[in-house]
Structure 1
Amino acid sequence: MKTENWGSVAYAEAWNRQTERFDAMVEAKRTGGSYENSLIFVEHPHVYTLGKSGKDTNMLLGEAQLKAMGATLYHIDRGGDITYHGPGQLVCYPILNLEDYHLGLKEYIRTLEEAVIRVCASYGVEAGRVKGATGVWLATGTPHERKICAIGVRSSHFVTMHGLALNVNTDLHYFGYIHPCGFMDKGVTSLQKELGREVSMEEVMKRLSNELSALL
């Protein structure tokens, strides 16, 4: 499994590059060709993405307002509702053939969650899951539940794209313009907010890459 760091890339470009990899892997599986599993890490400029099951009403700004704040909105082909990507957020796009890892889609999503839970624990931040809500959360089961990582994937022929978005040093104000992942009653957080200091993106990427590699 190859790990790549694309740096800061506009969302549309990253989506196109992902899709090319995804389509090539599906075709390689169909024809018996060669392919390579990969973990792609990236940061995006300010952007909102709305998944297949998302509701437009969870985006609270109009097109002109989005443009004024330098953000864009994309309707995309992953599961889940609406989320935000921006500077200081570590996004991971695994392009994997799940059959190589003997995983079904549900197990795969739990693997992504577990990797993030372990990364949070390595910083002394206790994280977990909320029933009926994909992703990684803090203060689970309390009125102070808050999300630190969103997860949304696309899978076809057991090949995956899209993935997870972990708030590291993210400006959380941008979540105030949406109902994150469709929830109106839950908050969001970041490693920076929980620890009270800026966290090295490079360090978090390394830890997340190691945890995903170990779990897979």
Structure 2
Amino acid sequence: MTDAIDTAKPGKSGRGPAFWGISFGLAMAVLAALRIADIVGEKAGFAIMLGCSLLLIPLFRSANRAARRGGCASPAVLRYNRGMGVSSIAYVLGLGTAIWAYNHQQDPGVWTYGLALLPVLPIFGMIWTMGRYLVEETDEYLKYRVVVAALIGLGGLLSIASLWGFLETFELVPHVPGWAAVPVWAIGMGLGQFWIKARGQ
């Protein structure tokens, strides 16, 4: 997602990646709040989550348009955006499906391991996509931007996880499942891309 988050005006091609990324994040946050408050039931919540995941399609399409407008639409960038898009959608759908199926299983068994793998396999896809991009990208500047954004996301994740872990140790906050690491890192990487763009790097 080298230029996946582009704060420039989208022009005739439609809304930019920032719009779709923020829309997806807000939609998922509102859904989480409605589920926690028990305003929306489990079935309706799952259906809404599926709808929210559709926002990822225009997000990654607009990311490719932004890359083309910015003159950095190398074949590696386009493959990266496509791979991350497919993996992200698979992750959201896999996570929702796994949680829903687990909550409705009658007799937990070996197949529960398969449920746990549904959201994990797309994460492997994200990691493979990023590694492939770093190997295939020949433009060192574009590669630098991805690495810096990824490190910003990683730094944010480590900071938040450490802070929350100590607060949890002293029983000041509730437990957060480990799978929350991926969304936190992705949000941090997106913010890192905003920061890089704002600095004109």
Mark the structure with the bigger radius of gyration: 2
Q: More helix per residue: 1 or 2?
A: 2
Smaller-chain TM-score range? Answer: 0.3 to 0.5
Q: More strand per residue: 1 or 2?
A: 1
TM-score for the superposition, normalised by structure 1:
0.31
